[in-house]
Amino acid sequence: MGYEYSNIDEITMRQLREDIHAYHHDRNWCEESLLLDDITPAEARTYQLRILDLSHQIRHCLHRIETIEFKNRRTYAAPLRMPQYGSFNTAQRAVAGREQTNGYATPAHDNRGLLTNGTSAQAGTSNGQASAENGLKRPRSPGPRPSTADRSPENAHKRQKLTNQIPVDPIEFDQDADLEAVKAKGPIMAIQRLGFWKCHLCVTPKYLLAPVGKSPAAPTKWALKDISKMITHFCVMHEEQTVSDRLSELGAAFELNRGPLLYWLKTTKGARVNTENGNIDGHGSIDDIIETLKAGRMPAALQRFSNSAKKMRLEPREV
């Protein structure tokens, strides 16, 4: 990877995003390990502490990224102030009129100066008429800037096909957001780790009147945002409900969180998924998973990629 056209902030932010990506992998592995039947209480406590530490690390990286972005926004928003020659003395004016290139001081008005790569300033322009200002400018980043048409909503699907990493600007939802308001905006299609869902089963009379020992022990206070947590919540918990009701609720959650589901399959589980049509290599498609769940049945593809789904008791519990 070349760093010749990067500044330290770009390098730092790229490394922070890579760290966040690795921390998410590690945390998901710990969460999956907690669901194993043969772990000891000491091992479970170790996994829980590791998950807590990884969450702190992820938050720390996000805070650093926000700080760098804020600093850059202030830098770019600051007005450009040109120096006034009236405030310069003779020596400062002489320095301002020269640029240092390859160890030789070249007058700013001389177009015969050399570029940093050894070529002439005149050869660095398309029409052969180059000034030292053009020749000695910092190289621009390769590739044209996207036009307004490229950023239009009609081309959103083209941009999403390239989103196979953690998005630069993910869609975020407040914990207090209303689920119906989120659903009214349509499915979450951005390919990102976190989505949004609030469990309807946690407010049903069947759950609220269930005896002590139910799971979860109390209605969830926070929205479900991680796909792994959604699967665990409906496949491992809420055994007071019927299997079909739990799977239907999970299917509704997946239907709203199509982008996070695709991210979970591709990034967390390493599945080969066609970004255009959602087909999973050899295991149907995302639409198949959602429709099967909404019908109250467990799709085989979900059991392949999730231990929680694999361990779900599909028969009613004997009383």
Pick from 286, 281, 219: nearest CA to 254: 286
185 and 97 together in one domain: no
In a domain? residue 317: no
In a domain? residue 230: yes
What's the domain count of the chain? 3
- H or E element, residue 88: none
Average pLDDT of span 54-75: 88
> pLDDT at position 136, please?
45
259 and 174 together in one domain: yes
DSSP 97: T
190 and 238 together in one domain: yes
User: At residue 302, what is the residue type?
Assistant: L
How far, in Å, CA of 115 to CA of 227, rounded? 52
Instruction: Return the minimum-mean-pLDDT range out of 2-11, 154-163, 259-268.
Output: 154-163
In a domain? residue 134: no
In a domain? residue 245: yes
In a domain? residue 296: yes
179 and 248 together in one domain: yes
> pLDDT at position 3, please?
53
> pLDDT at position 204, please?
92
Which structural domain, as residue segments, surrounds residue 290? 158-311
197 and 303 together in one domain: yes
The long-range contacts involving 296-305, CB below 8 angstroms and separated by at least 24 positions, are: 296/243, 296/244, 296/245, 296/247, 296/248, 297/244, 297/247, 298/243, 298/247, 302/231, 305/265, 305/269, 305/271
Q: Which residue has the higher pLDDT, 271 or 3?
A: 271
170 and 266 together in one domain: yes
C-beta separation of 283 from 301 below 8 A: yes
289 and 242 together in one domain: yes
> pLDDT at position 264, please?
93
195 and 170 together in one domain: yes
In a domain? residue 40: yes
C-beta separation of 291 from 284 below 8 A: no
164 and 61 together in one domain: no
For the stretch 172-215, pLDDT in tens is 777 778 888 888 999 999 999 999 999 999 999 999 998 888 88
266 and 121 together in one domain: no
**Distance between start and end Cα atoms, the chain:** 61
- H or E element, residue 99: strand 98-101
190 and 265 together in one domain: yes
For the stretch 205-255, pLDDT in tens is 999 998 888 888 888 888 999 999 999 999 999 999 999 999 999 999 999
> pLDDT at position 100, please?
45
For the stretch 141-157, pLDDT in tens is 444 444 444 455 555 54
Predicted model pTM: 0.49
| Cis-peptide, bond into residue 142, ω within 30° of zero | no
66 and 203 together in one domain: no
User: At residue 145, what is the residue type?
Assistant: R
Pick from 175, 173, 176, 221: nearest CA to 194: 173
Instruction: Return the minimum-mean-pLDDT range out of 26-30, 43-47, 279-283.
Output: 279-283
In a domain? residue 132: no
In a domain? residue 51: yes
Question: pLDDT band at 4, cuts 50/70/90?
Answer: low
